[in-house]
């Protein structure tokens, strides 16, 4: 009887708990969820436009609708740190090869760039508008592209002192290039990078710490983002990584992870975004400190060199004066000896004349 009563009580407890419990159903996993990463896009071509004098300030203050359109569809940097010492060879080597090399050979640059990307020599086209004035012409760039379809195309715009007009002309030509790529159906598969270079002809006193501008637009690049300050040597590693190169060459720079879309980055690196951004800011502050120290050291070297030059000049002047004084002392001694010899000869002459006249006229 007691056992039966206990069984009834347990049955009632289970029934009461069943009424109170809320059923939980497993959610169906949707393959289109944001948690599932899509595949990175394939890059078919790369266009790298290098513009002398282009800074983030120029991008903000000038009317450049085409470049700003690309800026809105891609990423821009707060600034790009130039290689040191700042000169055209160092900057071109930093941007095109990812290594700051003073022995950069522009004549072999296309071959070197093709080798860096694992391509044939015909897959790299470089046109320097400053040096190749006869070949210069933006139409010739895209005529060559339509005919040969090189994988990487580098256009170095010639330097100009026209200011806003020159930037607007460059913007117009880049806009023509974007239209041509769209007509060819290649715009969505083309990496477009616009980077600034230092001015050499019309702005020789440009400070080494001046930050240049950067705009990147293309497959696997974020949209409408502004990233912290980077270095020129970071541009090529980022282009190669975004272009899905399996074997990354050894460079001085690093991949700009916070410029890439999530699907193009290994999942384990996603949590590093904030840390990378902080490190970029810290690196920039350190670079500013290092640059100021380097400039102070160079200034000290220049002052020391000028001091040594002045010291050598003063020493030479003193030596010349000492030599002149010695010559004057020798000349003065010669005059003194000459006067003494002359006086002695006069005395001897007077004495000889005295004895001669005495003997002749006085007879004793």
pLDDT per residue as tens digits for the range 155-187: 888 887 777 778 888 888 888 888 888 888 888
Instruction: Tell me the domain boundaries of the chain.
Output: 45-265, 270-364
Longest dimension (CA), the chain: 196
More confidently predicted of 25 and 98: 98
- For residue 280, name the pLDDT band (cuts at 50, 70, 90): low
Global confidence as pTM: 0.62
Mean pLDDT of 241-267: 75
Q: Which of 22-26, 43-47, 234-238, 345-349 has the lowest mean pLDDT?
A: 22-26
Instruction: Give bridge partners of residue 195 from the DSSP assignment.
Output: 50, 214
pLDDT at 304 over 80: yes
Mean pLDDT of 7-13: 63
Instruction: Report in angstroms the alpha-carbon separations of 189 from 177, 206, 221.
Output: 14, 36, 11
pLDDT of residue 21: 43
Q: Which of 46-50, 188-192, 202-206 has the lowest mean pLDDT?
A: 202-206
Cα 136–Cα 140–Cα 145 angle in degrees, nearest 5: 130
DSSP, res 223: S
Q: Which of 4-18, 117-131, 228-242, 310-324 has the lowest mean pLDDT?
A: 4-18
More confidently predicted of 51 and 285: 51
Mean pLDDT of 73-83: 87
pLDDT of residue 289: 75
Closest CA to 154 of 101, 197, 109: 109
- For residue 287, name the pLDDT band (cuts at 50, 70, 90): confident
pLDDT at 32 over 50: no
- For residue 4, name the pLDDT band (cuts at 50, 70, 90): low
| Residues constituting the chain | 364
Mean pLDDT of 274-301: 72
More confidently predicted of 276 and 345: 345
Mean pLDDT of 331-338: 88
pLDDT at 6 over 80: no
Percent of the chain with pLDDT over 70: 74
Euclidean distance between CA atoms 351 and 343, whole angstroms:
12
pLDDT at 326 over 80: yes
Closest CA to 239 of 175, 178, 154, 327: 154
pLDDT of residue 355: 78
pLDDT of residue 93: 84
Name the architecture of domain 45-265.
3-Layer(aba) Sandwich (3.40)
What is residue 29's three-state secondary structure?
coil
Mean pLDDT of 322-331: 89
Look over the chain and give the mean of its residue pLDDT values, rounded to a whole number.
77
Euclidean distance between CA atoms 147 and 124, whole angstroms:
13
pLDDT of residue 133: 52
pLDDT of residue 31: 35
Query: In whole angstroms, what separates CA 162 from the centre of its chain?
Result: 23
Mean pLDDT of 255-280: 65
pLDDT of residue 195: 92
- For residue 362, name the pLDDT band (cuts at 50, 70, 90): low
- For residue 34, name the pLDDT band (cuts at 50, 70, 90): very low
pLDDT at 194 over 90: yes
């Amino acid at each position: 009887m007691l056992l039966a009563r206990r069984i009834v009580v347990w049955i009632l407890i289970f029934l009461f708990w069943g009424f109170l419990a809320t059923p939980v159903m497993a959610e169906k996993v949707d393959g289109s969820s944001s948690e599932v990463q899509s595949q990175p896009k394939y890059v078919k071509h790369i266009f790298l436009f290098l513009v002398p004098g282009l800074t983030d300030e120029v991008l903000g203050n000038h009317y450049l609708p085409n470049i700003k359109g690309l800026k809105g569809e891609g990423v821009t940097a707060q600034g790009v740190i130039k290689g040191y010492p700042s000169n055209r060879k160092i900057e071109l080597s930093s941007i095109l090869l990812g290594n700051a090399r003073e022995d950069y050979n522009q004549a072999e640059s296309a071959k070197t760039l093709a080798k860096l990307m694992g391509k044939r020599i015909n897959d790299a086209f470089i046109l320097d508008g400053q040096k190749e004035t006869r070949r210069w012409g933006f139409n010739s760039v895209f005529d060559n592209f339509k005919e040969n379809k090189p994988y990487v195309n580098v256009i170095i715009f010639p330097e100009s002192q026209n200011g806003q007009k020159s930037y607007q002309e460059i913007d117009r030509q880049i806009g023509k290039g974007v239209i041509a790529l769209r007509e060819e159906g290649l715009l969505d598969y083309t990496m477009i990078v616009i980077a600034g270079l230092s001015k050499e002809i019309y702005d020789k006193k440009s400070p080494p710490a001046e930050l240049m501008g950067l705009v990147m637009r293309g497959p696997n690049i974020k949209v409408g983002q502004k990233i912290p300050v980077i270095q020129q040597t970071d541009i090529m590693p980022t282009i190669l990584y975004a272009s899905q190169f399996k074997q990354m060459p050894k460079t001085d720079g690093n991949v700009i992870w916070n410029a890439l879309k999530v699907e193009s980055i290994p999942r384990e690196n996603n949590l590093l975004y904030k840390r990378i951004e902080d490190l970029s800011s810290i690196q920039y502050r350190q670079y500013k400190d290092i640059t100021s120290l380097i400039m102070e050291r160079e200034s000290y070297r220049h002052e020391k060199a000028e001091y040594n030059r002045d010291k050598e000049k003063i020493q030479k002047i003193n030596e010349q004066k000492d030599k002149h004084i010695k010559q004057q002392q020798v000349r003065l001694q010669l005059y003194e000896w000459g006067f003494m010899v002359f006086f002695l000869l006069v005395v001897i002459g007077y004495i000889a004349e005295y004895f001669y006249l005495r003997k002749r006229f006085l007879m004793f």
